[in-house]
């Protein structure tokens, strides 16, 4: 009679992966429900800044509100909140973990964080397929109906590229 050993190491490895997934999903922040009349845009975005050294950032996003007052939540592929940006006509703030960074406006805040003013306010129009005028930025909306937008900044330096994929 042959006795086969139970594959403990393989079972322990699988249990470890399941435990890790459970812990990470417990840290995930569910998206906030839309308020009546509120438009919410969700998808993925990436920003590349041609600085020295080059910077690159990618995250899932949830954008709500309007250019004058709104909220942008950035999350990891596992659903963990990386940061939340909230702005009003009087100020803008970044909430990241227990830290809050406040600045006078959205452009000032995004410039400090990424080295370039990211046109978050213009993104509302671009998502609706409206070209809009943002100095230094050129938005390619040719694939907006497919849920894809690319915007490039040529001036001032450094150049930058913003790519957005969303549900139209």
Q: Is the dihedral of CA 40, 43, 49, 50 positive or negative?
A: negative
Is residue 42 within 8 A of residue 61, CB to CB? The reply is yes
Which residues, other chains included, contact 131 with Cβ-Cβ below 8 Å and sequence gap of 6+? 125, 139, 141
Q: What is the per-residue pLDDT across 128-141, written as a single tens digit (0 to 9) for each?
A: 999 988 899 999 99
Q: What is the per-residue pLDDT across 17-73, written as a single tens digit (0 to 9) for each?
A: 333 333 333 344 445 555 556 789 999 999 999 988 998 999 999 999 999 999 999
Structural domain boundaries in the chain: 40-166
Least confident of 16-30, 82-96, 151-165: 16-30
Average pLDDT of the chain is: 82
Q: Identify which of 131, 110, 109, 124 has the alpha carbon closest to the alpha carbon of residue 70.
A: 124
**40-166 to CATH, choices 2.40.50.140, 2.50.20.10, 2.40.100.10, 3.40.50.300:** 2.50.20.10
pTM confidence score:
0.75
What are the Cα distances from residue 163, in Å, to 27, 40, 60, 148? 27, 18, 12, 8
């Amino acid at each position: 009679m042959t006795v086969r050993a139970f594959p403990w190491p393989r079972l322990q490895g699988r249990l470890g992966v399941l435990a890790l997934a459970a812990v990470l999903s417990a840290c995930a922040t569910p998206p906030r429900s839309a308020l009546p009349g509120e438009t919410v845009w969700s998808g993925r975005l990436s920003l590349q800044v041609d600085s020295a050294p080059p910077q690159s950032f990618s995250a899932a996003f949830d954008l709500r509100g309007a250019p004058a007052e709104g909220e942008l939540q950035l999350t990891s592929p596992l659903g963990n909140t990386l940061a939340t940006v909230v702005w009003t006509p009087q100020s803008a703030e970044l909430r990241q973990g227990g830290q809050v960074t406040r600045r006078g406006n959205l452009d000032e805040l995004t410039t400090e964080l990424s080295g370039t003013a990211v046109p978050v306010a213009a993104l509302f129009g671009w998502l609706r397929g409206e070209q809009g005028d943002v100095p230094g930025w050129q938005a390619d909306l040719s694939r907006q109906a497919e849920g894809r937008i690319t915007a490039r900044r040529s001036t001032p330096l450094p150049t930058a590229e913003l790519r957005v994929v969303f549900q139209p």
